[in-house]
Amino acid sequence: MPTLQQRYQNIINEMQRLAPASQLLAVSKGQPVEKIRELYALGQRAFGENYLREAEQKIIDCCDLPGIQWHYIGPLQRNKTRPIAEQFDWVHSVDRQLLAERLGNHRPTSLPPLNILLQINVNAEQQKSGAAPNQISPLAQTIGTYSSLRLRGIMGIPKQLQSDTEKHLSFAALYTAYQQCLELTPGADTLSMGMSGDWQIACQEGATMVRIGTAIFGPRK
């Protein structure tokens, strides 16, 4: 069994080859704080969490680690926007006007702007979060009215169990959404796509940030 350090180093090396400019978000949901600290010691700074309660405890437990960055990547609920706006650096899952407005209103002025990605439901799946691509323009416009928010780009999660060919098409569609976002927000710089099972394909299709959990940390609890 490779160690955490070996798995991490292998992914960093492969990313360096495939997409030297893209960034790694270590998805630490369901993983203990000790592993977050171990990865931090190896140089990792950006961590992704899905569940607010679990994340809040980890943020407290890691408050002695300078420069650590927390990304909220789970489904957003309207009643959670305040604690998320107060404690996270990034939110990847904004898909409705109301959520953008609430995050904008709840982000404390004492903090730098909250980095926002618009989650796009790229395969138009019934139960999945994410906006339709035609919502990018109105959402970008709303976010632009808040000095407490900074639109950084697009996030997407293609349908599970797609073939590699289908995955390529889904990631390419997200890339198109990202280009649309860039036209509206020239400062945008982030296309967050690709997870443990498909991040290499995502890099080939232009991901600037990949979100990897189990391939680094091993299985979740």
Ligand X SMILES: *Cc1c(COP(=O)(O)O)cnc(C)c1O
Residues forming contacts to ligand X in the complex (CB under 6 A) are: 27, 29, 50, 73, 157, 195-197, 211-215
Residue with the CB atom nearest ligand X in the bound state = 213
Residue 64 CB, shortest distance to ligand X, in Å, is: 26
Residue 216 CB, shortest distance to ligand X, in Å, is: 8
Residue 193 CB, shortest distance to ligand X, in Å, is: 9
Measured from the CB atom, the residue of 5 and 105 that comes closer to ligand X is 5
Quote the strand ranges of 34-156, DSSP E. Answer: 46-49, 69-72, 90-94, 114-120, 149-156
Query: Rounded to an integer, what distance in angstroms lies between the CA atom of residue 156 and that of residue 120?
Result: 5
Measured from the CB atom, the residue of 100 and 193 that comes closer to ligand X is 193
Q: Return the number of other C-beta atoms located less than 10 Å from residue 17's C-beta.
A: 9
The tokens for 102 are 């609430």
Residue 196 CB, shortest distance to ligand X, in Å, is: 3
Element (H, E) at 210: strand 209-212
Query: Rounded to an integer, what distance in angstroms lies between the CA atom of residue 87 and that of residue 109?
Result: 13
Measured from the CB atom, the residue of 73 and 140 that comes closer to ligand X is 73
Measured from the CB atom, the residue of 141 and 196 that comes closer to ligand X is 196
Query: Rounded to an integer, what distance in angstroms lies between the CA atom of residue 79 and that of residue 220?
Result: 26
